[in-house]
């Protein structure tokens, strides 16, 4: 990585940041008197985590009773409880007062435009709560939403949270099996759904699938169709916000489920709200006058992350539809139209814009835009450079990484320090992040290892649904390293105090017994003009593993022997000979989850002949067929069956 930064905040920007205000707020506890010092704040936050999270509650103005006790320690990491006596209601915190201040600005792909004030949102939530009460919804009851990224979806979540019900959502592009696999596990009492939605220039009907979903969910007492006029017959009523314990469940998030039935991860209200506020206010420098956007669906954890932005007083900008319809400038048009200050997206979207050759810096104003965040997969150094060259020079670009498991980030941005190409800037406040070897010992700077957290944090899952004695919970995070939260990322510390993620460690290649992350290969291949995108996996071969690279070609390009040799030569010269794939093959498409992540594990399972589960978790499951029975992966006669034999 280069020692030269791509961007540094001005002294004025640093001095005026929320992080600077927080450092002054906690005073002598940090041990730094003057200039903002993120490493010092972080050291204090992990040395005294109970004091840090209590200070974050106070600084961010959480509505509720914090209680006197700051932490309830436990013998096991996962049983530690922060603010054990606190009570609050997350809907009360997100809704704020019923004013004329803007809460949400919705724009649809089809041209629909709706602005929702805080007062409008209060009215909508109050009416939805009356529907829920009429159907017997009580605290702890699950409520499910099969809805797009619209204001009504947020209102359903807030209505449930106000009553103490447990919310779960997924997007309407999921098929029947995908919806039933998720919602049937939690047995919701009510289901909210839409009759149709727009995507990529087409109107997609949902009613036939909805009929099958209703038939499969026997627990549902009432299905509510969210369409024009759906609340006209509901009674006006003040919003109910019941103060509940800090650890009361807020929502269930579902794992991607590409290697089995999705896990139902139950998240605690107070812990997630507090974690999100720290990320929004301190890491992203969000303030009440900001306009906060993330391109997401209601089936991705970033939807939940975005929703919490309401608690900062900021306005949410919502978009539903294809991000590149009618062209790759669509979301940058949205940024100008709605004066977005924080623009959240995926690494895949940034790479698609770069490959499309657009330059928003030349065609758009973007004067309001102050920060851009990227997640979903590793953001390459070249993608960092494209943002600063083609989007905006004076911009805080924060690559962030965490997951559904904690509904937040382990490593993310720091608005007070420089940005370096290919690096995530900092460990999350309140979390003791480390990189360890196979024995759980800290790895030196620059040496790749497993990403772990050494200390408890308040947004650890409360539990998995229907997991007696936390057997699956423990196996998911704590079986690999005793006493450490193991996240499953292969990562190295940088010289600048940041992190470079190589890929998922469970997808890590192991040729010749040497572990190799996939990101270094993607960085070389996906920047070639002939290649649209790629997926790299390991194939068992001669009691070892060989690397197999599948490429989706750019328009009007073909994979021939000359290009294969150029691909291999580039990887050999720029990385190491160990990274060079044994096989390079072309495919028409590459499977992704609905949140845009390449499904390396599903591709690997296909080529080795393993059974696949829950392909409904994929946005394009038909793409898996391109990887079956590939002659390039057989020995000898290409017509002979078997893989790696």
pLDDT of residue 640: 30
Neighbours of 233 (CB within 10 A): 9
Cα-based distances in Å from 640 to 71, 547, 582, 603, 645:
62, 21, 19, 21, 10
Q: Which residues of 445-471 are buried (b: 16+ CB within 10 A; e: fewer)?
A: eeebbbbbbbbbbbbbbbbbbebeebe
Q: Where in the chain is the domain with CATH 3.30.300.30?
A: 511-633
pLDDT of residue 57: 98
Burial class (CB in 10 A: 0-12, 13-18, 19+), 3: exposed
User: Tens of pLDDT along 23-36?
Assistant: 999 998 888 777 89
Neighbours of 363 (CB within 10 A): 12
Q: Tell me the C-alpha distance between 515 and 538, whole Å.
A: 11
Cβ-proximal residues to 157 (8 Å cutoff; 6+ apart), any chain: 145, 167, 169, 251, 307
Q: Mean of the pLDDT values across residues 556-571?
A: 94
Radius of gyration of the chain (CA): 24
pLDDT of residue 599: 86
pLDDT of residue 503: 77
The hierarchical CATH code for the domain 11-493 is 3.40.50.12780
Q: Tell me the C-alpha distance between 271 and 291, whole Å.
A: 24
Q: Tell me the C-alpha distance between 552 and 559, whole Å.
A: 9
Neighbours of 16 (CB within 10 A): 13
Asked if the 511-633 domain carries CATH number 3.40.1410.10, the reply is no
* pLDDT above 70 for 425: yes
H/E segment holding residue 292: strand 291-294
* pLDDT above 60 for 645: no
Q: Mean of the pLDDT values across residues 82-110?
A: 98
Neighbours of 480 (CB within 10 A): 18
To the nearest whole number, what is the mean pLDDT of the chain? 92
| Token duo for residue 486 | 């193991």
Strand 102-108 and strand 113-117: pairing? antiparallel
Q: Tell me the C-alpha distance between 495 and 140, whole Å.
A: 47
Q: Single out the residue of 67, 79, 153, 58 nearest to residue 114, CA to CA.
A: 153
φ, ψ of residue 297 in degrees (nearest 5): -110, 170
Q: Tell me the C-alpha distance between 286 and 414, whole Å.
A: 12
Q: Could you tell me the pLDDT band of residue 641, with boundaries at 50, 70 and 90?
A: very low
Give the single-character DSSP code of 225: E
Q: Tell me the C-alpha distance between 222 and 495, whole Å.
A: 56
Cβ-proximal residues to 160 (8 Å cutoff; 6+ apart), any chain: 132, 137, 143, 166, 167
The 3-class SS string of 403-443 reads: ECCCCEEEEECCCCCCECCCCECEECCCCCEEEECCCCCEC
Q: Could you tell me the pLDDT band of residue 6, with boundaries at 50, 70 and 90?
A: very high
Q: Where in the chain is the domain with CATH 3.40.50.12780?
A: 11-493
Angle, alpha carbons 91-93-97 (nearest 5°): 95
Q: Mean of the pLDDT values across residues 93-104?
A: 98
Lowest mean pLDDT among 80-84, 136-140, 205-209, 578-582: 578-582
3-state secondary structure of 365: coil
User: Tens of pLDDT along 225-262?
Assistant: 999 999 999 989 999 999 999 999 999 999 865 555 78
Q: Mean of the pLDDT values across residues 271-288?
A: 98
| Token duo for residue 584 | 């390079």
3-state secondary structure of 25: helix
Enumerate the β-bridge partners of residue 587.
none
- Largest pairwise CA distance in the chain: 73
Neighbours of 5 (CB within 10 A): 13
Strand 87-88 and strand 142-146: pairing? unpaired
């Amino acid at each position: 990585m280069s020692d030269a930064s791509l961007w540094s905040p001005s002294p004025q920007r640093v001095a005026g940041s929320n992080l600077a205000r927080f450092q002054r707020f906690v005073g002598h506890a940090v041990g730094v008197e003057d200039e903002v010092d993120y490493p010092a704040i972080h050291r204090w936050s992990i040395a005294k985590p109970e004091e840090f999270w209590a200070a974050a509650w106070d600084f961010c103005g959480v509505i509720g009773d914090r209680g006197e006790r700051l932490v309830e320690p436990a013998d096991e990491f996962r049983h530690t409880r922060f603010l054990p006596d606190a009570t609050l209601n997350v809907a009360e915190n997100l809704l704020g007062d019923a004013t004329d201040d803007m809460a949400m600005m919705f724009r649809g792909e089809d041209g629909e435009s709706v602005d929702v004030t805080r007062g409008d949102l209060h009215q909508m939530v109050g009416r939805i709560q009356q529907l829920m009460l009429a159907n017997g919804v009580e605290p702890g009851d699950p409520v499910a939403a099969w809805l797009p990224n619209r204001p009504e979806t947020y209102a359903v979540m807030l209505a449930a949270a106000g009553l103490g019900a447990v919310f779960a959502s997924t997007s309407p592009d999921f098929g029947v099996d995908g919806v039933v696999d998720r919602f049937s596990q939690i047995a919701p009492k009510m289901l909210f759904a839409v009759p149709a939605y727009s995507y990529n220039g087409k109107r997609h009907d949902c009613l036939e699938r909805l009929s099958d979903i209703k038939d499969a969910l026997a627990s549902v007492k009432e299905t509510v169709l969210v369409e024009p006029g759906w609340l006209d017959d509901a009674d006006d009523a003040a919003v109910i916000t019941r103060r509940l314990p800090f650890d009361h469940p807020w929502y269930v998030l579902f794992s991607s489920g590409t290697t089995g039935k999705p896990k139902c991860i139950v998240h605690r209200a107070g812990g997630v709200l507090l974690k999100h506020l720290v990320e929004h206010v301190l890491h992203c420098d969000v303030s009440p006058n900001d306009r906060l956007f993330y391109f997401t669906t209601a089936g991705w954890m970033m939807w939940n992350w975005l929703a919490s932005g309401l608690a900062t007083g900021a306005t949410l900008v919502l978009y539903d539809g294809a991000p590149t319809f009618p062209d790759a400038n669509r979301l940058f048009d949205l940024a100008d139209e709605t004066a977005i200050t924080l623009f959240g997206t995926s690494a895949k979207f940034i790479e698609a814009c770069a490959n499309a050759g657009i330059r928003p810096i030349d065609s758009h104003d973007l004067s309001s835009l102050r920060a851009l965040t990227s997640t979903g997969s590793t953001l390459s150094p070249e993608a960092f450079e494209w943002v600063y060259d083609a989007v905006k020079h004076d911009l805080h670009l924060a690559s962030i990484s965490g997951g559904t498991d904690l509904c937040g980030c382990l490593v993310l941005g720091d608005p007070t320090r420089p940005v370096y190409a290919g690096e995530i800037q900092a460990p999350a406040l309140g979390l003791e992040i480390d990189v360890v070897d196979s024995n759980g010992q800290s790895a030196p700077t620059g040496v790749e290892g497993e990403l772990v957290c050494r200390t408890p944090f308040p947004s650890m899952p409360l539990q998995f649904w229907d997991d007696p004695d936390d057997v699956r919970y423990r196996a998911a995070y704590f079986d690999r390293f005793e006493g450490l939260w193991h996240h499953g990322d292969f990562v190295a510390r940088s010289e600048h105090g940041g992190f470079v993620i190589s890929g998922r460690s469970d997808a890590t290649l192991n040729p010749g017994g040497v572990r190799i992350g996939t990101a270094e290969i993607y960085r070389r291949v996906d920047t070639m003009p002939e290649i649209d995108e790629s997926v790299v996996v390991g194939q068992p071969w001669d009691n070892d593993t060989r690397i197999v690279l599948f490429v989706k070609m750019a328009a009007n390009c073909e994979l021939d022997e000359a290009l294969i040799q150029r691909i291999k030569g580039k990887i050999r010269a720029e990385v190491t000979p160990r990274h060079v794939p044994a096989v390079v093959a072309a495919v028409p498409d590459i499977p992704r989850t609905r949140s845009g992540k390449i499904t390396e594990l599903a591709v690997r399972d296909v080529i080795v002949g393993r059974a696949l589960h829950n392909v409904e978790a994929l946005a394009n499951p038909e793409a898996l067929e391109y990887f079956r029975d590939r002659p390039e992966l057989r020995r000898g006669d290409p017509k002979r069956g078997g893989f790696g034999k």
